[in-house]
Amino acid sequence: MTPQERQAWVRRMGARRDWWDSRPEDIVEPAWEFVDAHVHLWEERDFPDPSGDVEPVRTSRYMLPELIADAGAGHRVTDFVYVECGSGYRTAGPSHLRASGEAEFALRQAEALSDGDAGTRIGAAVCHAGLADPGLDELLDAYDAVGGGLVSGIRQSGARLEDPSTRLLAGAARPGLYADPAFLRGLASLGERELTFDAFLFHFQLDELAEMSRQAPDTTIVVNHAGAPIGYTGAAGPGDAVFDAWARQIERIADLPNLVLKLGGLASIVTGYDAHLRERPPSSEEFLAERGAYFRHAIGLFGAARCMFESNFPVDGASIGYRTLWNAYKILAAEHGSEDRRALLGETARKTYRIAARNVHEGRGDNDAAA
């Protein structure tokens, strides 16, 4: 990916509504409610290019109005989980505490959303911390102090692509991060504080995830983006080299009880998925034909009680619309009984991130009627 291509596609994340609308779909099961377990919010800004290129990447603007416009177009989202992306950092004060500004940023968005009439809320936030940093405890204390109880987890990416040109907004983590003894001590301390850890890494790094989970058995580790399989050659399934490599890795980690899996991120450009280049976006059925094998295999291994759906918006918005993406997830959820549907669409996320349920109808009268 050239720097110019990277610039162009980051600018289009969450900003392709005319393209999405060129392939409209009716809402699947409009009465079903769900939790979107992974969204980002950011003002338009320069972002360090993870390829190491001198020129920064200029992002789109994706704030509450954009998120609500996407999520409110027919679906019933009860809660979002805000996930760190560098928004709101303080520009002064001790460097190891500047990330605490993102907790304040997330809380402001949550308060603004609760003051409106969107019928949804930000139910939890996952903020950044360097787990090997000597100032970790001080930063976690700061999250407690300024986050209004919203911060329920921490994320530090370990994702690394050795070829800098293939990186988009991530992929430049330092080698061996998740095996660093200081990192592992910090990971264990999250469990002591009843904080989760969101792990972002690629499928060929999942051996690192297995070992780190064994080193911190009392910390719940949320595997982002279904383990992020890298490489796309068309409709995936057994016999496809990337799918088979990913499946072997997922099978090795599925029996680790402190792991929970986020199902999403498979429309991201960094995975190699090519829908962003098409004249029209994929339909929900096309998306499942091309990516559904990953979701189904993961659910089969982990079980619905340890899986949750995520939009990964606005990142995945370069390749698929929010409305269509959640139609696909509902189609997948409908393949399961009502209890498992409730888990996939919300209960796993609520339990993992300690989101209090409110007015939850999905899976009761409306969902059971469709069983």
Q: What is the mean pLDDT of residues 119-145?
A: 96
What average pLDDT does the chain have?
A: 92
Give residue 189's pLDDT band: very low, low, confident or very high (50, 70, 90).
Answer: very high
Tell me the C-alpha distance between 169 and 22, whole Å. Answer: 27
- Judged against a pLDDT cut of 90, whether residue 23 lies above it is answered with yes
How distant, in Å, are the alpha carbons of 31, 286, 300 from that of 336? 17, 20, 11
Residues linked to residue 62 through DSSP beta bridges, in sequence order = 42
Give residue 369's pLDDT band: very low, low, confident or very high (50, 70, 90).
Answer: very low
Tell me the C-alpha distance between 298 and 261, whole Å. Answer: 8
Give residue 180's pLDDT band: very low, low, confident or very high (50, 70, 90).
Answer: very high
Secondary structure of 307-360 in HEC code, one letter for each residue: EEECCCECHHHHCCCHHHHHHHHHHHHCCCCHHHHHHHHHHHHHHHHCCCCCCC
Give residue 229's pLDDT band: very low, low, confident or very high (50, 70, 90).
Answer: very high
Q: What single string gives the DSSP state of each residue in 220-272?
A: -EEEGGGG------SS--TT-HHHHHHHHHHHHHTT-TTEEEEE--TT-GGGT
Q: What is the pLDDT of residue 300?
A: 98
Q: What is the pLDDT of residue 117?
A: 61
Tell me the C-alpha distance between 91 and 72, whole Å. Answer: 34
- Judged against a pLDDT cut of 70, whether residue 357 lies above it is answered with no
Q: What is the mean pLDDT of residues 23-49?
A: 94
- Judged against a pLDDT cut of 70, whether residue 212 lies above it is answered with yes
C-alpha dihedral (183, 242, 316, 79), degrees to nearest 10: -60
Of 115-119, 162-166, 287-291, highest mean pLDDT: 287-291
Q: What is the mean pLDDT of residues 202-213?
A: 94
359 vs 341, more confident:
341
Give residue 130's pLDDT band: very low, low, confident or very high (50, 70, 90).
Answer: very high
Q: What is the pLDDT of residue 124?
A: 97
- Percentage of the chain lying above the pLDDT 70 cut: 95
Q: What is the pLDDT of residue 118?
A: 64
pLDDT tens by residue, 41-50: 999 988 887 7
Instruction: Note the pTM of the prediction, 2 decimals.
Output: 0.93
Q: In the CATH scheme, what is the code of domain 3-355?
A: 3.20.20.140
What the block records as the tokens of 47 is 């972002």
52 vs 284, more confident:
284
- Percentage of the chain lying above the pLDDT 90 cut: 80
Q: What is the pLDDT of residue 206?
A: 94
pLDDT tens by residue, 43-69: 998 888 777 777 888 999 999 999 999
Q: What is the mean pLDDT of residues 104-121?
A: 87
Q: What is the mean pLDDT of residues 271-281?
A: 95
Tell me the C-alpha distance between 185 and 342, whole Å. Answer: 34
Q: What is the pLDDT of residue 82?
A: 98
Give residue 93's pLDDT band: very low, low, confident or very high (50, 70, 90).
Answer: very high
pLDDT tens by residue, 308-352: 999 999 999 999 999 999 999 999 999 999 999 999 999 999 999
Domain ranges of the chain: 3-355
Q: What is the pLDDT of residue 238?
A: 83
Tell me the C-alpha distance between 104 and 101, whole Å. Answer: 5
Residue 28 is given by DSSP the state S
Q: Which helix (H) or strand (E) holds 196?
A: strand 196-199
Tell me the C-alpha distance between 282 and 328, whole Å. Answer: 11
- Is residue 114 classed exposed, middle or buried when 0-12, 13-18 and 19+ CB atoms within 10 A define those classes? exposed
Residue 78 is given by DSSP the state E
- Judged against a pLDDT cut of 80, whether residue 257 lies above it is answered with yes
